[in-house]
Amino acid sequence: MIGNKIISLAETASTNKYATELIKNNTAIEDGTIVLTHHQTAGRGTGDNHWESEKGKNLTLSIISFPTFLPIEKQFMMNKVVSLAVFDMVCILTKGKETEKIKWPNDIYAGNKKIAGILIENAIMGENFQYFISGIGININQEYFISNAPNPVSLKNITGEDHDLKECLSILCSCFENRYKELINSENKQLDDDYYTSLYRLNENASFIYNEQAIQARITGITAQGKLLLETNKRKVLECGFKEVEFVV
């Protein structure tokens, strides 16, 4: 299913934007269609963040999916599917040379450095999801980063080897399909458990910025709506939305 159809572009501003336009133009699109580019000129991260990617060195793509069966209140399950798919793929390719984790909500870390970012966009029609577009950027063969991103790393930085981008894409498609099938088959507990145990800084006392205030706390879980649960040193439990908390890395 995933990657049966791949739209390959030499260059585009944003694969998410390109995928959105395909849907808005009523283009016939299969579930699992991928929009892939060798050079993304205006890739976005969450919020106003820019995603740096050297031309022809990394994977920059969007996966279009139509989980119309998913209740709106469970939309964070799709975040778990995508995060775990990229996490699984990175774990396979680093071959245990780093400790991979998912930094809530959906960055993939190798050690204390960011190797992949995800930007998920969706549309709702009535009481159902119309589509999900999962924008994924994975640092593969890029060795040097020139943006002000604080802690990027690539597979080549970790392994010392060049990686075939087509092979990396194939592994990602397989990992995504496996996780997407878990969602389709209502294997939510598997997704919940794997996401939870893979969380960066889980149960570790660490520094965060919460509502612009520095705090010491530990991650204790995730709500069904995807909010981060932090327990402060004073045993106060905070339910944090994405814009309310920042990791100090």
Tell me the pLDDT band of 95, cut-offs 50, 70 and 90: confident
Residue type, 65: S
Place of tokens 């190797």: 115
pLDDT of residue 44: 59
Question: According to the model, what pLDDT value does residue 48 have?
Answer: 52
Q: How far apart are CA 226 and CA 234, in angstroms?
A: 23
What are the E-state strand segments in the chain? 6-9, 33-37, 59-65, 100-103, 107-110, 113-125, 128-138, 206-210, 213-222, 228-232, 237-240, 245-247
Amino acid at 187: E
Distance separating alpha carbons of residues 248 and 209, to the nearest angstrom: 7
What's the pTM? Answer: 0.94
Per-residue model confidence as pLDDT tens digits over 25-68? 877 899 999 999 999 887 655 545 566 778 889 999 999 999 99
* Domains present along the chain, CATH in parentheses: 6-197 (3.30.930.10), 206-247 (2.30.30)
pLDDT, mean of residues 148-160: 89
Type of residue found at 122: N
pLDDT of residue 232: 94
